[in-house]
A and B are shown apart, each in its own frame.
Chain A
Amino acid sequence: MIKIDHVSKQYGDTLAVNDLNFEVSPGVVTGFLGPNGSGKSTTMRIIMGLDQATKGSATINGQRYRDLKAPLREVGALLDAKAVNPNRSARNHLRALAASNNISTKRVDEVLEFTGIASVASKKVGGYSLGMSQRLGIAAALLGDPPVLLFDEPVNGLDPEGIRWIRDFFRSLAKEGRTVFVSSHLMSEMAVSADQIVVIGRGHFITQGSVDDLTRTAQGSVLVRSASPDVLKTALSQATEIETLNDGALNVTGLSAEAIGTIALSAGIALSELTPQRASLEEVFMELTADSLDYGSHSKGDSK
């Protein structure tokens, strides 16, 4: 389990992360969602003990990363696939990592096999494509067979086949009872690969929940079509918002399809279409982070 306990991080004048407070549970894939620059990577670096939190603390199974005795056997992380000396071969890179945590060289060959880069393991990493580098990063993360795994934007640079492979891979890791924490700025990706989602924007916590919860709680609308939209519009005065579309259809927010049907019947209006519009995770995300943008722009002054 990863616990982010009221973490704030200030870089000079910039407040990159502001009072983040959440937990990442084992057994599920937890997506960490936010636009670029929202503080995802900063949070990951703080979890890894690379950057120090200005306030608060991040712990892994109750311990700060710096206090872990054999860190690679407790946490596996892929933060930046290109952060490898390009002049070293993949095998030597992994051997050096393995040695630092008393992990056997046999395990190095295992993870090279598993990630499918065994055949190029003796080549310099500098010649690797981004996709191959990602695989090497995953191999490094798996080296110590850790119960907690962190991946920062892992699908970047992967081909469609690689993306599908990595989704299944995250699921299988979670099924084994591990904590899997995956960041992304792509909501569509998180919608299919994560069970739980933590949303942040401009360094602020926005919401946390299952993918289903998030789309359900979002304001859904109903598309209504009739021969007399103006009369219908008047009848639906209880709705929070009614948008008239170009073709005369109405997009009604704040009333269920059932309620609209009943109102139309009692008003004697015939409906030609009545379709509930389910919000996509993407819309939910835009809606959520749109609020945070306003909030975010004041936060710098507030925090001091």
Chain B
Amino acid sequence: MNPSFWSAFRSEWIKFKSVRSTIIGLITFVVLTIGIGILVTLGIRGHINDHGGEARLSFDATSTSLVGIFLAQFAVGTIGIIMMTAEYATGSIRTTLSAVPNRTRLVVAKAAVLVAALFVLCEVTCFAAFFIGQSIYHGAGLATTLSAPGVLRAVSLAGVYLTLLGILGFGLGLIIRATAASIIAYATVLLILPIIVNFLPSAWQTHLTKFFPGELGRDMFTPSAIANDFSPTTAALMLLGYAAGLVTIGTVLLRRRDA
């Protein structure tokens, strides 16, 4: 029987789970995301009354319980980046391409493994962080539920946001090939660009900021619409577009470059 896409997928799956540092990294990501959620929600519960009634009115129990995402996004990005750059760092890309010479198939198989692993893990983590956060808020009368408007969507899309960032990192790794440079590029997009834009005239800011991946993420995991921003669905599709665009560019480069 000739190898198919699924043969390449199985191969990449074995590779993904057989490096212990990947597994440790994933566990750390889960623990940190949930842990930060617990700390932040506990802090908010203790101090919400300092800000008076208005603070309670505008309070968003969902996104504050998901605040660990701000750290988690670097973990998933790095996992995506390393999935590709480790092949170049160790030279194993040549072995990999000898086994799967169809380079497009290889990229799709790797991306599929990444999506499968990250999507499940990120959804579980985000829902866990949400429920733990709400149980902490519960005593203070701050808690919300999944049936409140937009909440189920926001928590689900939080996992989608992290998964897409993993693919975004994977695309950067595919293009740049070096781990450190890829991580710098990733951090630049998520952290540095928004800071730079802060120094621009505010009219420009409103036009530019909403296009950044981080801002698209806020649109996705906030239950109520954010003024001047995209709708959650549009934001998710745009981020998918960014990730798919980078992976496509990376695939074209991989097909053309010498390994």
Contacts and interface: CB of A to CB of B under 8 A. Distances in A.
Interface of A: 45, 48-52, 65-66, 68-72, 75, 77, 79-80, 82-89, 92-93, 95-97, 99-102, 140
B11 A99 contact: yes
Interface residues of B, number: 30
A84 B91 CA distance: 7
Nearest to A92: B18
29 contacts: A45-B94, A49-B98, A50-B97, A50-B258, A69-B3, A70-B3, A71-B100, A75-B98, A79-B98, A83-B92, A83-B93, A83-B94, A85-B90, A85-B92, A86-B90, A87-B20, A88-B15, A88-B18, A89-B18, A93-B18, A95-B14, A96-B15, A97-B11, A97-B95, A99-B14, A100-B3, A100-B8, A100-B99, A100-B100
Given A50-B259, A70-B3, A65 B101 contact: yes
Interface in B99-139: 99-102
A243 B120 CA distance: 81
B92 A68 contact: no
A100 B98 CA distance: 10
Given A66-B101, A70-B2, A79 B14 contact: no
Interface of B: 1-3, 7-8, 10-12, 14-15, 18-21, 86-87, 90-95, 97-102, 258-259
Nearest to B8: A100
A83 B10 contact: no
A77 B93 CA distance: 14
A71 B99 contact: yes
Given A88-B18, A88-B19, A102-B7, A51 B92 contact: no
B217 to A, nearest CB: 31
Closest 5 CB pairs of A and B: A83-B91, A100-B11, A92-B18, A51-B258, A96-B14
Nearest to B259: A50
B94 A50 contact: yes
Contacts of B92: 83-85
Contacts of B10: 99-100
Contact of A92 (B14, B86, B97, B98): B14
B64 to A, nearest CB: 37
A92 B95 CA distance: 14
Contacts of B87: 85
B14 A77 contact: no
Contacts of A85: 15, 19, 86-87, 90, 92
A69 B8 CA distance: 12
A86 B20 CA distance: 11
B99 A97 contact: yes
A102 B98 contact: no
Given A50-B258, A100-B11, A69 B18 contact: no
A96 B98 contact: no
Contacts of B8: 100
A83 B95 CA distance: 7
A101 B101 contact: no
Contacts of A84: 90-92, 95
A82 B97 contact: no
A165 B19 CA distance: 32
B82 to A, nearest CB: 11
Contacts of B86: 85
Contacts of B2: 69-70, 102
Contacts of B99: 71-72, 97, 100-101
Nearest to A124: B20
A83 B86 CA distance: 11
Contacts of B14: 92, 95-96, 99
Contact of B101 (A49, A82, A96): A49
Nearest to A95: B14
Taking each of A48, A50, A79, A99, which has the highest tally of chain B beta carbons within 10 Å of its own beta carbon? A99
Contact of B11 (A80, A86, A96): A96
Contacts of B15: 85, 88, 92, 96
A77 B10 CA distance: 22
A192 B96 CA distance: 33
A75 B99 CA distance: 10
B185 to A, nearest CB: 23
B51 to A, nearest CB: 48
Nearest to B22: A87
B258 A52 contact: yes
A102 B159 CA distance: 33
A89 B19 CA distance: 8
A23 B85 CA distance: 36
B91 A82 contact: yes
B95 A102 contact: no
B101 A68 contact: yes
B27 to A, nearest CB: 16
Contacts of A89: 18
B23 to A, nearest CB: 11
